[in-house]
Amino acid sequence: MVGLLIIALCARGEIVKRVIGVTGGIASGKSNVCNIIEKMGLFVIDCDKISYDLTKKGGPIYKVILEKFGNEYLLDNDEIDRKKLARLIFNNLEAKNLLNSITHPIIIDDLNKKIEESDEKIIFLEAPLLYETHLDNICDKIICVYLDEKLQLDRLMMREGIDEQYALAKIHSQMDLNIKKSLADYVIDTKGTFEETRMQVDKVINDILKECN
């Protein structure tokens, strides 16, 4: 859909939108990198936020989760119990595939609308599952936020207060981060300090802006 949109804009002589994907692994520092990008005055669409909003009570994803998984995955306030659902999908491949098959099309449709409605020339797309959901096909360039697995594991366990087994299940449920790194146009390694990460982001974004212009 986005590819057709860009072709149509070109045909009418209108502004062509550039989509820059930002991906990585869980707890690799994607949100931190995207916060820096936003502070540079650039527009970022967060796929996790789209998913979160659509999963709220009454939303389209909320409805299909109840239909497929039942009321046992509701909190007392009738919102989805995200932690309980996460425990299920990270330990049950069949449940994970089912959830993905019914939620990803809804999320991608909403994403396409946001891109289409945006007036920005350059749109940064924060998408943890960029390659897994084939969103790389709509990106002009891709940034991989990289962290070696040991540090990724430590940060995830500390951030979420979970044990090593569950943390590894979460990490390994996504595409190998080394593969994402090899496929990306740019790599930002977040093993260092915030300032070191920020300097990498500055360089990458400046290179992208020069190329887009």
Q: Provide the number of structural domains found in the chain.
A: 2
> Model confidence over 29-60: pLDDT tens digits?
999 999 999 999 999 999 999 999 999 999 99
Indicate if 133 and 210 belong to the same structural domain: yes
20 and 139 Cβ atoms separated by less than 8 Å: yes
123 and 137 Cβ atoms separated by less than 8 Å: no
CA 106 to CA 81: how far, in whole Å?
A: 19
CA 32 to CA 47: how far, in whole Å?
A: 15
Question: Is 9 a residue whose pLDDT tops 50?
Answer: no
Q: Of the candidates 121, 143, 159, which is a domain's last residue?
A: 121
Cα angle, residue 131 at apex, residues 158 and 149 outer, rounded to 5°: 30
User: Mean pLDDT lowest for which of 17-26, 87-96, 188-197?
Assistant: 87-96
Amino acid at 83: K
Indicate if 74 and 91 belong to the same structural domain: yes
Indicate if 85 and 167 belong to the same structural domain: no
> Model confidence over 180-209: pLDDT tens digits?
999 999 999 999 999 999 999 999 999 999
CA 4 to CA 41: how far, in whole Å?
A: 27
Q: Which domain holds residue 117?
A: 52-121
Amino acid at 132: E
- CA distance readout (Å), 134 to 11, 71, 131, 164: 25, 31, 5, 29
Indicate if 127 and 35 belong to the same structural domain: yes
